[in-house]
Amino acid sequence: MAEPAIKRSDESSKIVDEGIDKGIARLTPEKIEQVINKVLAAETGARLKTYVETCVHCGLCSEACHYYLSHDNDPKFSPAGKVKQTIWEILKRKGKVDPEFIRDASRIASTECNLCRRCAMYCPFGIDIAYLMSVVRRLCHMLGVTQLYIQDTAHSHSATLNQMWVKEDEWIDTLFWQEEEAQDEISSLRIPIEKEGSEIFYSVIAPEPKFRAQLIYQAAVIMNAAGVDFTMPATPGWDNSDQCMFTGDYEMMGRLKKVHFETAMRLKVKRIVMGECGHAFRSVYDVGNRWLAWKMPPIPVTHAVEFYYELLKQGKIKIAKKYDKPVTFQDPCNIIRGKGLHEKARYVVDALCEEFIEMHPNREHNYCCCAGGGVINTGPQYKMKRIKGNRIKAEQLFATKTRGAKVIIAPCHNCHGGIEDILHHYGLDMELHFLGDIIYKVMEKPV
């Protein structure tokens, strides 16, 4: 009558991932039991217990999850289904699980859940599945089982305090280089480095200097045009990203946020303004600060969307000619369900673009891009999983395209990564931009 506990899937064994394979090879059932029970006893409490005991197994959360919807309603991908395969089983067996169980648990928690929190809005009890999946990731981290690619970024965080092994001189060079480039366009433009007492510390994620330096260029143009008093540090602490939050390496997460906040303090700025990244915002505003026992960040943090909203609202940037292609807007989980910036984002889009077409669902109810929560960082082996796990996003975008949208605006790096792959795989011919790209195109620039 009842379903058997778990059918082992052969899915995770198909993927070759050294981080996982080697980690698993080192495990013994005794070690697993010991680590699991230690971590559960030390770090979990009322929330874990209450969530597990309150869940009435009603399945109402299922349709919240893009993985579930994209896999033809396969219950293994439902939010509670993922908890069943991991936490319930771990608790039931009191940590006595074998290494292969850990392999599956890691796959489920790290590559089949984006911690997007959409399901919290569909479960009547508000059970925090994202938290439960984070607990599984933490257990895997403590067992030394983490996907190689994301573990590499975590190593980079711990060695360099940025995500992409960017060396200190490379960072400074990149800023100089972008400043020089931008001076060809606006001769008076500056990217002030280490300017103590500035209003704003502008922080970015490491992939910006590494692969998308033009974003720093554009930000500099916007800042200069708006006459904003900003600075960027020359020292580690400039990177606001945080993959350690996603691997479950919370000690490192704490270090990263500490350096970030301390850099802001050292520069004596009034606030941190962050580029268009969602996960970094989650880390700085919501998760990392808590690990450091700050209820709210010790210094105000403003996401780019909110910052652009201020600049436009106060008339600090003027629009020369509105963007004329019809656009739609991807609401990123971490700044919508994470900060409620949806209306401000729409104000910005309306100010910049002639025609705006909503995708459905939207705002808090938008589907995740399936790249966030560290999933895209688990590496190319998992790319197809991400793409197949978000067919529903392709359908959502296709429907929006049918209604006329040609351009997707997504103010988040992860959303970009995820949606780019989806557009490509499902053959959706749509453009994808950051808000900054559009502002840069349509704004009045000084000379």
Partner 1 sequence: MHDIYNFVSGPLVWVSFVIFFGGSLYRLISMAVLARKKDVFVYEYMSLKFGLRSILHWIIPFGTVKWRKNPLFTIVTFTFHVCIIFIPIFLSAHIILWKESWDISWWYISDTTVDILAVVVIASCIFFLVRRIVLPEVKYLTSVSDYVILAIVAAPFITGFWTYHQWAGFRVMGIIHIIAGEIMLASIPFTRLIHMIFFPFTRGYMGSEFGAIRHAKDW
Contact between 20 and partner 1 per CB under 8 A: no
C-beta closer to partner 1: residue 250 or 382: 250
Which residue type, as a one-letter code, is found at position 188? S
Q: Where on the chain is the footprint of ligand HEM (CB under 6 A)?
A: 56, 58, 124
Q: Which two tokens stand for residue 131?
A: 């938290």
**Whole-number minimum distance, CB 390 to ligand SF4, in Å?**
10
**Whole-number minimum distance, CB 83 to ligand SF4, in Å?**
7
**Whole-number minimum distance, CB 57 to ligand HEM, in Å?**
7
Give, as ranges, the residues between 129 and 158 that touch ligand SF4 (CB under 6 A): 129-130
Options 54-62, 89-97, 189-197, 396-404: segment touching ligand SF4 (CB under 6 A): 54-62
Contact between 290 and partner 1 per CB under 8 A: yes
Helix ranges, 146-267 (H): 148-160, 168-185, 207-211, 213-226, 244-247, 250-266
Give, as ranges, the residues between 362 and 421 that touch partner 1 (CB under 8 A): 364-365
Residue nearest to ligand HEM (CB): 124
Rounded CA separation 213/275 (Å): 12
**Exactly one of 39, 51, 105, 114 binds partner 1 (CB under 8 A); which one?**
51
Q: Which does 404 bind (CB under 5 to 8 A by kind): partner 1, ligand SF4, ligand HEM, none?
A: none
Contact between 44 and ligand SF4 per CB under 6 A: no
Run of H or E including 301: strand 301-303
For every residue of 234-292, DSSP letters joined together read: SSTT-B---SHHHHT-HHHHHHHHHHHHHHHHHTT-SEEEE-S-HHHHIIIIIIHHHHT
Give, as ranges, the residues between 96 and 125 that touch partner 1 (CB under 8 A): 120-122, 124-125
Query: Which residue, 77, 71, 89, is CA-closest to 6?
Result: 89
Q: Which residues pair with 201 in a beta bridge?
A: 231, 272
Contact between 300 and partner 1 per CB under 8 A: no
Residue 90, number of CB atoms within 10 A of its CB: 22
3-state helix, strand, coil in the chain (%, to 5): 55, 5, 35
**Exactly one of 69, 87, 115, 226 binds ligand SF4 (CB under 6 A); which one?**
115
Contact between 93 and partner 1 per CB under 8 A: no
Contacts of 181 (CB under 8 A, 6+ apart): 217
Contact between 386 and ligand SF4 per CB under 6 A: no
Query: Which residue, 242, 203, 212, 255, is CA-closest to 372?
Result: 242
**Whole-number minimum distance, CB 78 to ligand HEM, in Å?**
14
Rounded CA separation 147/322 (Å): 44
Binding footprint of ligand SF4 on the chain (CB under 6 A): 55-61, 64-65, 67, 79-80, 82, 113-119, 123, 125, 127, 129-130, 368
Binding footprint of partner 1 on the chain (CB under 8 A): 1-3, 43-47, 49-51, 53-60, 62-63, 68, 73, 75-76, 78, 80-81, 84, 120-122, 124-128, 286, 290, 295-296, 336-340, 342, 364-365
